[in-house]
Amino acid sequence: MRISGIEIEKVNDNLWEIPKFGGMLVPGRIYTSEKMLEGTLQNDEALKQVVNVAHLPGIQKYSLAMPDIHWGYGFPIGGVAATDINNGVISPGGVGYDINCGVRLARTSLNFESIKNRIQKLVENLFNDIPTGVGASGAIKKLNAAEIKKILRDGAEWAVSNGFGSKHDIELTEENGKLKDADPEAVSPRAIERGMDQAGTLGSGNHFLEIDFVEEIFDENAAEIFGLFKGQIVIQIHTGSRGLGYQVCDDYLKVLVQAEKKYGFKLPDKQLACAPIKSTEGQNYLHAMRAAANFAWNNRQVIMHLARNSFKRTLSISDAELEFELIYDVCHNIAKIEEHEIDGEVKKVCVHRKGATRAFPPGSKFIPEKYRSVGQPVLIPGDMGRYSYIAVGTEKAMRETFGSSCHGAGRVQSRHQALKEAKGRNLVEELTKKGIVIQAKGYKTIAEEMPHAYKDVSEVVEVMHHAGISTKVAKLKPAGVIKG
């Protein structure tokens, strides 16, 4: 089969392979269905990006793509690549501009039926309490550079030590909300300046806070361990490192474009700018990227605390009655040094996950002890008009995808195309008819993020489930949404 001019071979119903050709060092592999391959990927440049990534020095096994794949900067969004720590490279395009964009899911004791008449007021108060949109600021007092550097070093620990949540939250956050070897001194003064008043802010575009309810449970055992029940109100928070992370990426792309020339790399796309992992340039980027990731974890921790307070005030209930507790927090724009078995040998590699979620299996020492019997929670938000999913990681993911799964629905329309299609439609009314309350900074954001600008997330999740990479636990349905 040829898609976008590229020869693709079927491995099975959920996995397709691009054989090595030209300068590819490894084959490309795409987890998808034939329907999506022939439909949404037919004219998408993302498949060419899978091929391009396969040229990276030191890449191991495959250039991978998840079923939510779509075109991105350098790497496709939904792309995964692991590079050898000794002779491989680090590429900011494999992380993305929004470093540690991720999802946090919290549960409550509330049943949707008991509060459905209060959703409108909850959305209004959440929108007022949590700054949203481009340049949003003021969630907490403006911090000075020294305090921002503490956040860059300590991540979510800073929030908890300053009264925004509890130590229990740290235990239920990927990497305990803090990447070690983060170096605030590797972050530019401009990036720090941009972060000074953005801690606890939601941002714009596809970032959101949702009030959801558990519509369906597929795995009763895992759901019980996660504290889920049918009809339960849960809260999803999707945001990242804001302007600070964007600036870090922008700063280091300029450095690594020069490094690529210095080290004599010849890559098919300048957006794959990279440097050897052990080079000065590569290490500096990793230190700065980790610092930005820590800013993002702190950001989601503060937002969760603000959301908890909104719920308590709006519903006039106590902490004990609300039982607002974190289930898990995952990142999906990150590069991490991990150990994986490759050709029978355990190797240290740098795993780039760009629009992909870590999906570690039962028994992994890197996930909270309380979840080790079922595996790491994998949080997969959909669009604001349909549904989202909770899944768990598997041993097969460790063997095939470096412990990675999908991160969401994946766009099928550009923001410009979505705006065009939204003309003449009242999207707020359409969502209201579905029982979904929405509040955003402007109608433009709602139009750009309209549900049909995205793939149906259930099709994405089914591919991962049937491939055995991450298996379904529960389906969530939106009731209220705030967006920038």
pLDDT, tens digit, 9 for 90 and up, residues 118-146: 999 999 999 999 988 667 677 777 889 99
Residue 51, phi-psi category: left (phi > 0), alpha (psi -120 to 50), beta (remainder)? alpha
Q: Is the confidence at residue 309, as pLDDT, over 80?
A: yes
* Strands 377-380, 388-393: pairing kind: antiparallel
Q: How high is the pLDDT of residue 113? A: 97
Q: How high is the pLDDT of residue 445? A: 87
Tell me how far apart the alpha carbons of residues 422 and 281 are, in angstroms, rounded to a whole number. 44
Q: Is the confidence at residue 220, as pLDDT, over 80?
A: yes
Tell me how far apart the alpha carbons of residues 362 and 364 are, in angstroms, rounded to a whole number. 6
The least confident of 68-77, 295-304, 445-454 is 445-454
Encoding tokens for residue 384?
């604001």
Closest CA to 337 of 356, 350, 353: 350
Q: Is the confidence at residue 90, as pLDDT, over 70?
A: yes
Closest CA to 162 of 190, 200, 108: 200
- Give the list of residues 6+ apart from residue 468 with CB closer than 8 angstroms, or none: 394, 396, 397
Which residue among 407, 416, 452, 465 is the active-site one?
A: 407
Q: Provide the pLDDT confidence category of residue 443 given band limits of 50, 70 and 90.
A: confident
Q: How high is the pLDDT of residue 421? A: 86
Torsion of CA 140, 145, 147, 153, to 10 degrees: 120
Tell me how far apart the alpha carbons of residues 443 and 440 are, in angstroms, rounded to a whole number. 7
**What is the distance of C-alpha 475 from the center of its chain?**
18
Q: How high is the pLDDT of residue 359? A: 98
Residue ranges of domains in the chain, CATH in brackets: 2-97+336-362 (no CATH), 102-145+153-178+197-242+296-329+374-483 (3.90.1860.10)
For a pLDDT cut of 70, what percent of the chain falls above it? 98
Q: How high is the pLDDT of residue 151? A: 97
Q: How high is the pLDDT of residue 43? A: 62
Q: Is the confidence at residue 258, as pLDDT, over 80?
A: yes
Q: How high is the pLDDT of residue 36? A: 87
pLDDT digits (tens, 9 = 90+) for 259-277: 988 999 999 999 999 999 9
Encoding tokens for residue 293?
């990731």
Q: Which residue has the tokens 């802010």?
A: 201
Q: How high is the pLDDT of residue 40? A: 66
Q: Is the confidence at residue 183, as pLDDT, over 70?
A: yes
CB 37 within 8 A of CB 64: no
Highest mean pLDDT, choosing among 140-144, 294-298, 413-417:
294-298
Residues 412-441 have a mean pLDDT of 89
Tell me how far apart the alpha carbons of residues 212 and 205 are, in angstroms, rounded to a whole number. 19
For a pLDDT cut of 90, what percent of the chain falls above it? 85
Q: How high is the pLDDT of residue 42? A: 64
Q: Is 407 a catalytic residue?
A: yes
More confident call, 398 vs 6: 398
pLDDT digits (tens, 9 = 90+) for 36-63: 888 767 667 899 999 999 999 999 999 9
Q: Is the confidence at residue 171, as pLDDT, over 80?
A: yes
Q: How high is the pLDDT of residue 149? A: 97
Q: Is the confidence at residue 204, as pLDDT, over 90?
A: no
Q: Is the confidence at residue 24, as pLDDT, over 80?
A: yes
Q: Is the confidence at residue 115, as pLDDT, over 70?
A: yes
Tell me how far apart the alpha carbons of residues 238 and 151 are, in angstroms, rounded to a whole number. 19
Residues 367-392 have a mean pLDDT of 97
Tell me how far apart the alpha carbons of residues 333 and 289 are, in angstroms, rounded to a whole number. 10
- Give the list of residues 6+ apart from residue 420 with CB closer than 8 angstroms, or none: none
- Give the list of residues 6+ apart from residue 274 with CB closer than 8 angstroms, or none: 56, 57, 89, 90, 91, 92, 93, 256, 259, 260, 265, 267, 282
Type of residue at 101? C
* Mean residue pLDDT across the chain: 94
Q: Is the confidence at residue 66, as pLDDT, over 70?
A: yes
Closest CA to 100 of 265, 298, 251, 318: 298
For the chain, what's the residue count? Answer: 484
- Give the list of residues 6+ apart from residue 438 with CB closer than 8 angstroms, or none: 123, 384, 428, 431, 446, 480, 481, 482, 483
Q: Is the confidence at residue 396, as pLDDT, over 70?
A: yes
Tell me how far apart the alpha carbons of residues 300 and 240 are, in angstroms, rounded to a whole number. 8
Q: What is the DSSP string of 365-391?
A: TTS-GGGTTT--EEEE---TTS-EEEE
Q: Is the confidence at residue 315, as pLDDT, over 90?
A: yes
* Global pTM exceeds 0.85: yes
- Gyration radius of the chain over CA positions: 21
Q: How far is CA 391 from CA 125, 222, 334, in A?
A: 30, 9, 20
Residue 176 has, within 13 A of its CA and on its CB side, a CA count of: 12
